[in-house]
Structure 1
Amino acid sequence: MDISIIIVNYRSWKPLLNCLESLQTIEDTKINFEVIVLDNFSNDGQFDYYKSKFKDFIFIENYINSGFSNGCNLGAKVAKGEYLLFLNPDTIIAPDTLNTLYTTYKKHPEIGILSCLQVDKKNRFFNQKNLFPSFFQVFGITRFFYRKFTSKALNEKFKIQDDLFYPDWVSGALLFISRDWFKKVNGWNEDYWLYFEDVDICKKISQSKGKIAITCDATIFHEHGGSSRNNFETEHISKTEVIISKHVYINTNFNTLSQLPSHLFLILFIFLEKTFLSLLSLFLFFNLKLKTNRYILSNLCFYYFNAIKKRTWLSQSSVNYQK
């Protein structure tokens, strides 16, 4: 088996349908590939239907919603491919994309992780010129000024060479990696439940002298948020997890001197922002996006209280939380 395509799903059946149908159109290729769908306990009666509809694909049902990292690792354990392609359910892949990723990766042995261009439903390209988070990159205001004053150096860094450019990290929406590299960095970090796990695995590859690359020769459709923010409840939960995962990333990847000030500044900025938006939502009560901030603020109060009590930055949903 050349490639194992691993998709972690949680109640994203409609986008997943389009994704799987696009994978069925991949016929004109000499590459042997399998498709593994790891369902994170959607528990909504759809699993058996999709399993019977796509009989050529492998469906695995998890007993809990263990998060993206754990789901990816579970899929990788049963995968037979020499290469692993982690793919979001809210993506649509063109018939030639798989071949482009495979041939490009083999042509450039210096690459540890490869991805491709992404467009949204308005045919706009995602900005994928990503830098690793640092003290100046974690916060919106400092990130803006950092990029402004280093724009010349960044333009040189992201210069396209041989139809490739090299960001610090790529989105987990599409991440192509050899099994050897995957084993070398011990797979996905299960401290993360949702978000920043893609940044973390790219960081580990980079620290091991592997390159992170994006090919301009392939493009996928990506309905951003279509797999994690499909209703009001998952919206505020997922946005809370973004903040929690920032703390996990800081604790995992920042040096000792910058950890504490980064945690404290993040807490301060988040509380100021969410408190202001929560108060504003009381007046603009018809705006649902503003309303989510009240729930996020409540979630974060519980999280920070628990972080102090348990002395951990991990989300309670992380499989490593109780270890």
Structure 2
Amino acid sequence: MEKTDPANNAAVATRRCSVVIVNFNGGELLLECLAGVLDGTLPVEVILVDNASTDGSAAKAKENHPPVRLIQNSNNPGFAIAANQGLRAARGDYLLVLNPDCILRPDTLEKMLGALDACPQAGMAGCRILNPDGSEQRGCRRNLPTLGSGLRKAAGAQGGLAGVDLHRQPLPRQPQYVEAISGAFMLVRRTALEEVGVLDEQYFLHCEDLDWCRRFLDAGWKILFVPQVKVIHHQGTCSKTTPIRVSWYKHRGMVRYYRKFLAAESGVLASVLVIPGIYVRFLLLAVVSGIRKLAGRT
């Protein structure tokens, strides 16, 4: 069921940027996120897709910010499906998929649209995403995973981390092309979206952003990282109550990404080892998490 504000419909067509936010129990941070988006220097269309939150955050968001267009799901279909609901409803020339725990500055969108306009070959752009302590967040600029980097990272080797995540490398002074950006903030050009398509809905949570980046690159579009623009991301706000379940979805996403993009070049023998290895890694992490939780109660 979709709830819309009729007074907002007439202005939608003139708005250049649409912001799609998928919410699941985002709490007060969702309100702060929306305030940052709506108080910016550019007018925007905001589409909030709520995945059956139980904390009242969606209703409060609509009450406090009437211009927001609310799509209310009766269950939680996952991030990719919900984001695609928002993308299909959006009317902007540019579309920002934004996490509900990201806090924008007033000029964030204006600067990002300017950077994307300056690089017509870029179909997607991301900014410098910071942790609340001001440090650069892992995954905000990165390489796409390969079989080698994935195995090294799964084994805890430093080389695996350095081979994927670039946040420890010197910060570039100017926007630069990267292979992937964080799904917390993904600004896409409509013309590129129409060519590449929306998110793969077979991912429930995690890895759909890497999949999207890979498909943009495969279609000939570039991905831009803009270091001068910064946002704060309170990572994990919507998933902190179910860490093991979230970990399961993440590992299941790894398996899908591997099968789609890496299995053919890796060979049958590698697949026989890699896919069970991903699930074994999940089981080990789940056991460790359970032990730590029990230890914390004693």
After TM superposition, list the pairs within 5 Å mapping 1:1-323 onto structure 2. 1-26=15-40, 29=41, 31-127=42-138, 128-139=140-151, 140=153, 141=155, 144-145=158-159, 160=172, 163-229=174-240, 231=241, 234-258=242-266, 260=268, 261-262=270-271, 264-268=273-277, 270-271=279-280, 274-275=283-284, 278=287, 285-287=294-296
Distance 1:147 1:126, change over 3 A: closer
Residues 109-168 of structure 1 show CA distances to partners (whole Å, capped at 9, x for unaligned) of: 1111101001111111124341111111223238633567x79xx89x98836x112221
Residues 209-230 of structure 1 show CA distances to partners (whole Å, capped at 9, x for unaligned) of: 111111012100001111222x
Contact 1:3 / 1:34 at 8 angstroms: preserved in 2? yes
SS at match of 1:84: strand
What one-letter code is carried by the residue in structure 2 that aligns with 1:192? Y
Residues 64-95 of structure 1 show CA distances to partners (whole Å, capped at 9, x for unaligned) of: 21111111110112111011011000110000
What one-letter code is carried by the residue in structure 2 that aligns with 1:185? V
Scaled by the length of structure 1, what TM-score is found?
0.77
Structure with higher strand content: 2
SS at match of 1:137: helix
Superposition CA RMSD, Å: 2.8
Q: Which runs of 5+ in 2 are unaligned?
A: 1-14
Question: Cα offset for 1:24?
Answer: 3.0
Contact 2:36 / 2:106 at 8 angstroms: preserved in 1? yes
Contact 1:7 / 1:72 at 8 angstroms: preserved in 2? yes
Percentage of pairs with the same residue: 24
Which stretch of structure 1 is more off in the superposition, 40-49 or 211-220?
Answer: 40-49
Distance 2:63 2:216 in 1: 37
Question: Cα offset for 1:8?
Answer: 0.4
Which stretch of structure 1 is more off in the superposition, 134-143 or 169-178?
Answer: 134-143
Residues 257-310 of structure 1 show CA distances to partners (whole Å, capped at 9, x for unaligned) of: 52642463352365267448737955983237xxxxxxxxxxxxxxxxxxxxxx
Distance 1:184 1:259, change over 3 A: farther
Distance 1:114 1:242 in 2: 23
Scaled by the length of structure 2, what TM-score is found?
0.83
Distance 2:190 2:79 in 1: 18
Q: Which runs of 5+ in 1 are unaligned?
A: 289-323
Distance 1:240 1:2, change over 3 A: same
Number of equivalent positions: 277
